[in-house]
Amino acid sequence: MRLELAYQGGAFYGWARQPTLRTVQGCLEEALAVVTHQRGRRAGNQGPVWNPHLVVAGRTDTGVHASHQVCHLDIPRALLESGQGHMDVDPVEALKRRLRHLLPADMALHDLRLAPEGFDARFSALERTYVYRVCDRPDDLDPRMRGFVLPLDGQLNLESMNQAVASCPGLHDFGSFATANEGGTTIRKVLYAHWDRVPRRSLLERPSGVGESSNWAGPAYDTPVLESGLVCFTIVADAFAHNMVRSLVNASLRVGLGKQTVSWFCRKVEHPVREGATGPAAACGLTLEHVRYPSDDRLAARAASIRAKRTLETS
């Protein structure tokens, strides 16, 4: 099964299941166990107990959000079909509806469907897109966004920040900005990295060619789009190492506030050395926005190729 979901990460201790902490994986697997009547069941005449196990595209850290997360799950066909019950829908739709009913309010299941042959949520992915949102202007600070935006004292110099992150695209060892998992590496291929200020625009704009004296029924006042004025860092890569995005953000912010230079940032990309000035920015501003996959006939090949440990010579 392929699942697509979103979550507000503020009340989760990251994606990965932990014995005593609330995590996204833990909540979702618990709900799956409940809807398939496996929670608390012991192996017996009805066969072994099925324990749900999700594989995810991006293991988000504590406090990080997702608007488009992807994961996969292997489920016995008989167990899937048994969950249909009296619902006048196919078993997959029945599972999706029951699961949505059980999930907490800070999670949303956008889709659940049979995955194509060879699909692996983690290893088949071509790229992931993250966005980090910052508010550096008090006039644009909206308390409704407090859980998704980092408020900052001091206006940012986006020109110097973009000069700095221009050194990120390509295959690099991001050891200055990330930590590797055991047996892993901090070498990643970044496809795009850029800072932008969201232009201020109205939620409902007067149509072009319609003058002030017309009978247009729209409001006579400006209702700005919620993200108007925010500064957003968008980064796309084939994969990300632990704390990589938030550490790149923190280093960028130091450049944007005049505390460090563009050349300092570029040296950190060129010479991977981990130190305190490149620690991670707060988790609240970061959201996993998108995961892209190849066509169905290339899923298995992509998964096989990406499992190999990469080097700086990897294309």
- The pLDDT tens digits of the residues spanning 152-189 come to 999 999 999 999 999 999 999 999 999 887 778 899 99
Residues 194, 87, single domain; the answer is no
Per-residue confidence (pLDDT) for residue 275, from 0 to 100: 75
Residues 159, 235, single domain; the answer is yes
Per-residue confidence (pLDDT) for residue 127, from 0 to 100: 96
Residue 61 annotated as catalytic: yes
- What is the domain-level CATH number for residue 275? 3.30.70.660
The three-state secondary structure class of 132 is strand
Domain of residue 177 covers 127-203+224-301
State the residue for tokens 């201020």: 200
Residues 68, 160, single domain; the answer is no
In a domain, 285, yes or no: yes
Q: How far is CA 145 from the centre of its chain?
A: 17
Contact partners, residue 283, CB within 8 Å, separation at least 6: 9, 61, 62, 63, 64, 246
pLDDT digits (tens, 9 = 90+) for 190-227: 999 999 999 887 777 766 666 666 666 666 666 778 88
> What's the pTM value of the predicted model, to 2 decimals?
0.90
Which of left, alpha, beta for 183 (phi over 0: left; psi -120 to 50: alpha)? left
pLDDT digits (tens, 9 = 90+) for 237-295: 999 999 999 999 999 999 999 999 999 999 999 999 877 667 899 999 999 999 999 99
Residues 167, 262, single domain; the answer is yes
Per-residue confidence (pLDDT) for residue 82, from 0 to 100: 83
In a domain, 120, yes or no: no
Residues 100, 131, single domain; the answer is no
Per-residue confidence (pLDDT) for residue 243, from 0 to 100: 93
In a domain, 187, yes or no: yes
Please, what is the Cα angle at 264 between 259 and 265, to 5 degrees? Answer: 95
pLDDT of 55 strictly over 70: yes
Domain boundary pick from 73, 89, 113: 113
Domain boundary pick from 89, 113, 137: 113
Domain boundary pick from 113, 141, 157: 113
Out of 61, 120, 136, 173, pick the active-site residue: 61
Residues 152, 239, single domain; the answer is yes
Contact call for residues 175 and 151 (beta carbons, < 8 A)? no
Residues 159, 296, single domain; the answer is yes
Residues 266, 181, single domain; the answer is yes
In a domain, 161, yes or no: yes
Rounded CA gap, 258 and 254, in Å? 6
Residues 134, 59, single domain; the answer is no
Per-residue confidence (pLDDT) for residue 21, from 0 to 100: 97
> Cα dist. 138→145, 150, 312 in Å?
13, 12, 43
Tell which wins on pLDDT, 77 or 40.
77
Residues 174, 241, single domain; the answer is yes
In a domain, 213, yes or no: no
Residues 35, 95, single domain; the answer is yes
Residues 103, 180, single domain; the answer is no
Rg (CA), the chain: 23
The three-state secondary structure class of 187 is strand
- What is the domain-level CATH number for residue 84? 3.30.70.580
59-73, 129-143, 193-207: least confident range: 193-207
**Domain count across the chain:** 2
Per-residue confidence (pLDDT) for residue 259, from 0 to 100: 95
Of 60, 36, 59, 58, residue with least CA distance to 48: 36
Task: Give the percent of the chain with pLDDT over 90.
Answer: 70
Contact call for residues 99 and 75 (beta carbons, < 8 A)? no
Rounded CA gap, 192 and 34, in Å? 41
Rounding to the nearest 10 degrees, give the CA dihedral for residues 61, 65, 66, 72.
40
Confidence of residue 15 (pLDDT cuts 50, 70, 90): very high
In a domain, 15, yes or no: yes
The average confidence (pLDDT) of the chain is 90
